[in-house]
Copies of this chain bind each other. A is one copy, B any other.
Amino acid sequence: MRKEIEQLNKIFDSRIRIGIMSALMVNESMNFNELKALVDATDGNLATHLKTLEDNTFIKVEKGFIGRKTNTTYAITKAGEKAFRSHLDALEKIIKNLG
């Protein structure tokens, strides 16, 4: 397999996950509804994608409270940042090669 293609990460073969990751690259943290509005997924669908990213340690989930209300936030991890950048680098190379 050509090495740039090999370098693409299967986990990021998803529009929703790319949306989540690129949002978390530029935002310190986001909550469920912010992400939901951004990627336009249903609750169940978004939750599943977040779970996958969490299972791969690409994002971390923090469950806390604001007053008495639950407040869950999602943030990118170092590993996530690294993996996503490397995925984007591979894409960039593919794009460049096409001129």
**Oligomer copy total:** 2
Report chain B residues within 8 Å CB of A25.
98
CA gap between A13 and B94 in the complex, in Å: 15
Q: How many residues of A contact B (CB 8 A)?
A: 25
CA gap between A8 and B1 in the complex, in Å: 23
Are A92 and B95 closer than 8 Å at their CB atoms? yes
Are A14 and B15 closer than 8 Å at their CB atoms? no
Which single member of B15, B26, B98 contacts A13 (CB below 8 Å)? B15
Report chain B residues within 8 Å CB of A40.
1, 6
Of all A-B residue pairs in the complex, the 7 with the closest CB atoms, nearest first, are A1-B40, A5-B19, A8-B15, A13-B13, A88-B95, A25-B98, A22-B94
